Amino acid sequence: MTLQDIQKDIQEGIPSKVPPAKPYDSSVNHAPKRKQILSKEEEKLALKNALRYFPSEQHAELLPDFKHELETYGRIYMYRYRPNYKLHARDIKEYPGKCEQAKAIMLMIHNNLDYAVAQHPHELITYGGNGAVFQNWAQYRLTMKYLSEMTEEQTLVMYSGHPMGLFPSHKDAPRVVVTNGMMIPNYSKQDDWEKYNALGVTQYGQMTAGSYMYIGPQGIVHGTTITVLNAGRKIAKDGEGLAGKLFLTAGLGGMSGAQPKAGNIAGCITVCAEINEKATQTRHSQGWVDEVITDLDELVMRIKTAKANKEVVSIAYQGNIVDVWEKLDEENVKVDLGSDQTSLHNPWAGGYYPVGFSLEESNKMMAENPEQFKKEVQKSLVRHANAINNHTGKGTYFFDYGNAFLLEASRAGADIMAENGIDFKYPSYVQDIMGPMCFDFGFGPFRWVCASNDPADLLKTDEIACQVLEELQKESPAEIQQQMADNIQWIKGAQENKLVVGSQARILYADALGRMKIAEAFNKAIEKGEIGPVVLGRDHHDVSGTDSPFRETSNIYDGSQFTADMAIQNVIGDSFRGATWVSIHNGGGVGWGEVINGGFGMLLDGTADADRRLKSMLHWDVNNGIARRNWARNEGATFAIKRAMEMEPRLKVTVPNLVDDSLFD
């Protein structure tokens, strides 16, 4: 299709005529069949809900097709409405529309659905097994049409993938407001997602899938690199590095695909198990994992050789992670660092596969005998935990990577609890590393996307960001010198590490001052014509955006880790301080009903208006979380918020008075 044809297709929205059915493409990585959870009356309701996108004279033709999808896949995806053009991030100038901000959002939606980026592109799922951009292709088409028509005095309202419509607003309002999975609290169990998603009335947006801010596995490479580096520092003796040390983990499908690349950057041996051969081959073909091994004995020999030679290498094991932990225990191979990034927020629908079964056998059991599948998953989790316990008894440092591994293992009855019977035996990586070292000081995953889609622009932004950080480091206090040094090292190596998958994007951990200074420098470069427009964003896995007691807020100890005020305040505050779009989600990372998370996107176009917006919004977006962490008596956050108040006289935050524990003796 020509560019003109693509633009016309976007502007048309849902076609006036029913398009021909499309064959099921087995070469694409598809979502597993969802379990049949609807009653006959509810199936009828799901079909009526799907048909309401189309004129009544088309219902008789579409009904058998949608009924087949619901029976075959457990969802109505409307495959026949998939566009015929390739979805990927284009130059912002190529999108039709009246509003540059709306064009930026179209670009980001296309990036989330790019075959090189999305985990299950035909099911509109970006990562995590169920992290969806939309529920069906009619929603995609209608949303793109609305965006192509939008002016700067309208806001598009998105209800869990459904575009409710364009509403009058004003130029300082967000152009899009997104909610995903915002259930009444008593309806946030796992089966509730299955039911209401099957009905077509809600979706799991993960974190950056349903908020249009996913940038491929690069989005987590930096955080994983920092985590592995600092985990290595925790076990290091006399300043030794990670050379020759083994990091064992699992998952290569979505965000987890970053692990082998991060291990290479950190300088260790990484073994990452993956049950899905398509996911393994994708990461290998992209250069994100060096080698693929399918035999356990061969794997053991390869690890021993790599340890002896102190190699830096990443190896994908095509198979189940439980087998690897058990085999290395039997062979007495030392695992120095251990973790897991399978999608255990989604344990019963493809997020974790039981040991002893092939992928095909598991998917069949999942759809046809879900209760047995659940039993097998829980048996595997017990074995998984037992093998880890054996290794930690030999000196392995194991940390939970916030994927709900410890949570689901505990629910399965695994020996995973601490002696007090309340806490887990192993720390979350946020508790041990990211919380006290990064989040409390305001450092988190700042992102930008070059809307020109020009690699030269990305190179220029890398250089600008590095210059800004090096200048800031000169004046930075001792408490954050390590964070500054790690991030400067990261950005200097970003090009050579070939991190781009999909859009011309970059991630960089920065605090509020760093984010504002970098964004300000970008905006000036855009004004001078040195680079094209830039979209700012972040992962929801950040200082302020997410309330998640088993991950992002697991180092909050005043009892408020089970509240969600911070995430809600964050998205409200971003919306009136200048964000181009905002989102708030139930679920993400650790599971439906376990977390509330929010994010934003902001277009920089070189104007004074963009400069005003970025300074107002980025300051709040970070300091909201620092203020909350300070109130929880986190020492680093109290230091950071006092520093922030010194720099901004209008900022006045309540600081806690510390209580002497001896009063309670």
- Residue 598's DSSP bridge partners are 584
Inter-helix orientation angle 321-330/370-392, to 10°? 30
- The pair of structure tokens assigned to 461 is 């932004």
Instruction: Locate CATH 3.40.50.10730 in the chain.
Output: 242-426
CB neighbourhood size of 232 (10 A)? 21
Which of the four CATH numbers 1.10.3720.10, 3.40.50.10730, 3.10.20.30, 3.90.1150.10 does domain 242-426 have?
3.40.50.10730
Q: What is the pLDDT of residue 380?
A: 97
Q: Write down the residue that tokens 């659905």 correspond to.
A: 113
Which amino acid appears at position 142 of this protein?
L
Helix H or strand E encompassing 505: strand 505-510
Nearest CA-CA partner of 610 in 530, 531, 526, 545 = 526
Q: Is 129 annotated as a binding residue?
A: yes
Q: Is 128 annotated as a binding residue?
A: yes
Contact 165, 156 (CB under 8 A): yes
HSE-up of residue 535 (Cα within 13 Å, Cβ side): 32
HSE-up of residue 176 (Cα within 13 Å, Cβ side): 38
Q: Write down the residue that tokens 């047995």 correspond to.
A: 372
HSE-up of residue 126 (Cα within 13 Å, Cβ side): 34
The model's pTM = 0.89
Helix H or strand E encompassing 298: helix 296-309
Q: Is 588 annotated as a binding residue?
A: no
Q: Is 206 annotated as a binding residue?
A: yes
Query: Over the stretch 311-327, which tens digit does the pLDDT of each residue have?
Result: 999 999 999 999 999 99
Query: Over the stretch 496-513, which tens digit does the pLDDT of each residue have?
Result: 888 888 999 999 999 999
Q: What is the pLDDT of residue 443?
A: 95
- The pair of structure tokens assigned to 307 is 């340890």
Expressed in percent and rounded to 5, the helix, strand and coil fractions of the chain are 45, 15, 40
Contact 488, 470 (CB under 8 A): yes
**Residues counted in the chain:** 665
Q: What is the pLDDT of residue 238?
A: 67
The residue ranges of the chain whose pLDDT is under 70 are: 238-239, 254-255
